[in-house]
Amino acid sequence: MFKLKTLCLWVLTCCITVSLHAQKKQLTNAQYFENKLDDIVQPLPVVLRFENDKEFVMMKDRKSFLVNALTGTMEEYKGKPDGRAEQSVKIKDHDIFLNDRRITSTPEQEKNPVLSPDGQYIAFTRNNDLYTYHIETSREIRITQDGSELILNGYASWVYMEEILGRRSNYRAFWWSPDSKHLAFFRSNDTRVPEYTLTDDGGAGGYVEKLRYPKPGDANPEIKIGIVASGGGNITWCDFNETDDQYFGLPYWKPDGNTLLVQWMNRAQNELKIYEVQPANGSKSLWYEERTHTWINLDDEGDRLRFLSNGNLLLLSNNEGYNHIYLHNAAGKRLNAVTSGPLMVEEILWNNTKDVIFTARTRVNSTRVQIFRASLNGKKIKQLTSDNYHHTQITVSPNAKHITYTYGNAQTPNAIAILSENGKAKDLHHSRTAGFDNYQLALTEILRIKSEDGKFDLPIRIIQPLNMEPGKKYPVLISIYGGPARNDVMDNWRLSGTQQWFAKEGLMQVILEHRGSSHFGKEGTDYLHHNLGYWEMTDYITQVKWLIANRQADPERIAITGFSYGGYLSAYALTYGADYFTHGMAGGSVTDWSLYDTHYTERFMGTPKTNPEGYKKSSVMQYTHQYKGKLQLVHGLIDENVHPQHTIRLATDLQMKNKTFDMMLYGGNRHGITGKQGIHHYNLKNRFIYEHLIKKPIPKELLR
């Protein structure tokens, strides 16, 4: 009876929607194909920063304005929009410039110049050696002498850049102390790391690129951590054995610059220790540790620790099920939990010695980010924003008198608001225009689908086709990334001409979530330990079944698309999940986890030696005998992240089984297809959608 009532309500909703849409205007070709949507929503200004507790700087129409937080009055801002100090360093023509002054003039390329906090020195690397430059005396100081292709000083080995320090580091592996007296740096020895060869078109002789890339079970880079005075001299090496099987995370200088906190992790990545190191002699003492039976993430954002002015600090950890804030003293001892329960802390925005302002999601409403304020003693926590909206682009004034943020949800266009310390919020700007209600837009739903075992309410985002007819079946395009502790489904505002065009063409556009996403804390993610692919696909299949039973999805036209990990799941869906997924577009795909890098893969899967069955079951090639439908494979030929051998190996396996599929390789492209070839890839995917899902000729207006 309940299911019948739900179906009747759905049909009624469709009829009402069709009736309402009939009275509204359709988008024009310029809105559909050129994304000219200013009649519907307009771009919002961007709050750059607070100058003080009463004024903030905002960018609007490419101009900067100083805005009074109390009255909302604006005047043109005369300072620099980015608020940067007068001194700045950059690379130009392979040399370092301080403002307009050329600092270096060498045939070699300098990399990652960074000013010391006091503005007296510049640190940089050249040919994998570390240097400093004293600005006042124009003196260049060479810190290390042994840089080579295999010995990297202050410059990260590939796997450290990609998986530990993060791509934003641009391979930089050195860090100034707050008092500018010392530099800490990584010395990476890649001698034992296996070499991988990439090839591409490069004239008659071709192009060859070699990369030190460790795959599961291989030797990792050997890391030494050095500390040196800003003016050079003897290097102090921290008291670690570089030949141990270990990882080092982003180090933190204590605010006084007297000691360095070094994150250490075992190869299995289920044990984290933070050591306090003395710069004078490199001696270390254990400062903090945690363990788990699955895995711990090393942070690459510098957000695990946040120091307070009274010597205490805040530490982020998910060791108790969800990501929470804990108060520690200077010696590393935990004083108390600041947050607790089914609350997933995202980011610390502001703090003093008594309170902290942060963003978080609740287990009940994990698709929306909220702003909270909590006392550091853990006795008081308050949500500052409305449950009805998702909140982004948050800026807090120096003493937290005001907070600006952008809010919206899947059905509500974004707006900018300002929140005062008295709890009152006031809207500043709306993206929704006066003409918004005049247009026929596809409805977006954010729903929860019960997992097959009843343990999880899985988020799903659905953009309905326009003018749905009761009883008619509609093709589905599922877009995913997936993977452990990620989230794809958020209740946020998104609008594009292409999205609306596909809705008009009768395409149901869907994003799915699985139990191993960030929505369920470690309770969910731990299911994926040593078992990638299976639970993601199990939950995706549950949601596909629901779409067929409840949203008129056509079981003969269920497509899935993604890139990287999303490419893996798309290929896995057309093999392991081929009874439910009929079409797939997989780009830059991992197809066998034994071919990806050590740090990412082993975190979840262990090594092929310790988890042979898990590697076997997670491989796409294990299920190619089940392949049916139509799969499109895409890869960049010099993808140094997910090597093209993944796609080639899958293609070869499908060929050996006489299976039909499409494949497109893009020369000169890495992990992502860009430039004119990116346009080709865009058209390739749209042609696939029209041929196999919409089943009619693609309109020329959609082609770029």
Rounded to whole angstroms, how far apart are CA atoms 490 and 81?
31
Is residue 25 within 8 A of residue 438, CB to CB? The reply is: yes
Is residue 188 within 8 A of residue 151, CB to CB? The reply is: yes
Rounded to whole angstroms, how far apart are CA atoms 55 and 694?
52
Secondary structure letter of residue 593 according to DSSP: G
Rounded to whole angstroms, how far apart are CA atoms 329 and 307?
10
Give domain 85-289's CATH superfamily.
Dipeptidylpeptidase IV, N-terminal domain (2.140.10.30)
Position 83 scores a pLDDT of 64
* 226: Cβ contacts below 8 Å, ≥ 6 apart: 144, 153, 184, 185, 186, 187, 235, 236, 237, 238
| Collapsed DSSP state (helix, strand, coil) of residue 686 | helix
Rounded to whole angstroms, how far apart are CA atoms 124 and 365?
45
Rounded to whole angstroms, how far apart are CA atoms 560 and 572?
10
- Beta-ladder partners of 100: none
Secondary structure letter of residue 164 according to DSSP: I
Rounded to whole angstroms, how far apart are CA atoms 450 and 457?
5
Rounded to whole angstroms, how far apart are CA atoms 609 and 431?
54
CB atoms within 10 A of CB 573: 32
CB atoms within 10 A of CB 474: 19
Please count the helices (runs of H) and the strands (runs of E) in the chain: 11, 43
The candidate with the shortest Cα–Cα distance to 585, out of 445, 460, 693, 459, is 693
Rounded to whole angstroms, how far apart are CA atoms 188 and 279?
19
Position 108 scores a pLDDT of 94
Is residue 275 within 8 A of residue 627, CB to CB? The reply is: no
Rounded to whole angstroms, how far apart are CA atoms 455 and 468?
32
Rounded to whole angstroms, how far apart are CA atoms 590 and 571?
9
Is residue 354 within 8 A of residue 375, CB to CB? The reply is: yes
* 292: Cβ contacts below 8 Å, ≥ 6 apart: 270, 319, 522
Residue pLDDT, tens place only, 346-356: 999 999 999 99
Sort 468 into a burial class: Cβ within 10 Å, 0-12 / 13-18 / 19+: buried
Rounded to whole angstroms, how far apart are CA atoms 365 and 387?
8
Rounded to whole angstroms, how far apart are CA atoms 176 and 179?
8
* In the block, residue with structure tokens 């060479």: 142
Secondary structure letter of residue 172 according to DSSP: B
What are the residue ranges spanned by the domains of the chain? 2-36+440-702, 85-289
Position 301 scores a pLDDT of 72
* 449: Cβ contacts below 8 Å, ≥ 6 apart: 457, 458, 460, 542, 543, 546
Position 204 scores a pLDDT of 87
Rounded to whole angstroms, how far apart are CA atoms 527 and 530?
8
The candidate with the shortest Cα–Cα distance to 480, out of 364, 571, 550, 402, is 571
CATH number for the domain whose boundaries are 2-36+440-702: 3.40.50.1820
Same fold, 2-36+440-702 and 85-289: no
Give whole-number Cα distances, 260 to 114, 250, 279, in Å.
19, 11, 7
Own/partner long-range contacts of 303-309 (Cβ < 8 Å, ≥24 apart)? 303/347, 303/348, 304/249, 304/250, 304/252, 304/263, 305/252, 305/261, 306/348, 306/351, 307/254, 307/255, 308/351, 308/352, 308/353, 309/352, 309/353
Position 87 scores a pLDDT of 82
Which stretches of the chain score pLDDT less than 50? 1-9, 16-20
CB atoms within 10 A of CB 157: 25
What's the helix, strand, coil split of the chain in %, to 5?
20, 35, 45
* In the block, residue with structure tokens 């194909």: 33
User: Would residue 252 be called left, alpha or beta, if left means φ above 0 and alpha means ψ between -120 and 50 degrees?
Assistant: beta
- pTM to 2 decimal places: 0.93
Backbone dihedral angles phi then psi of residue 626, each to the nearest 5 degrees: -90, -5
Is residue 316 within 8 A of residue 324, CB to CB? The reply is: yes
Position 539 scores a pLDDT of 98
Q: Per DSSP, which regions of 239-330 are E strands? A: 246-248, 252-253, 260-266, 271-277, 284-291, 305-307, 313-317, 324-328
Rounded to whole angstroms, how far apart are CA atoms 67 and 64?
10
Residue pLDDT, tens place only, 146-169: 999 999 999 999 999 999 999 999
Residue pLDDT, tens place only, 424-450: 999 999 999 999 999 999 999 999 999
- Beta-ladder partners of 382: 373
For residue 377, what are its two tokens? 């003693």
CB atoms within 10 A of CB 586: 32
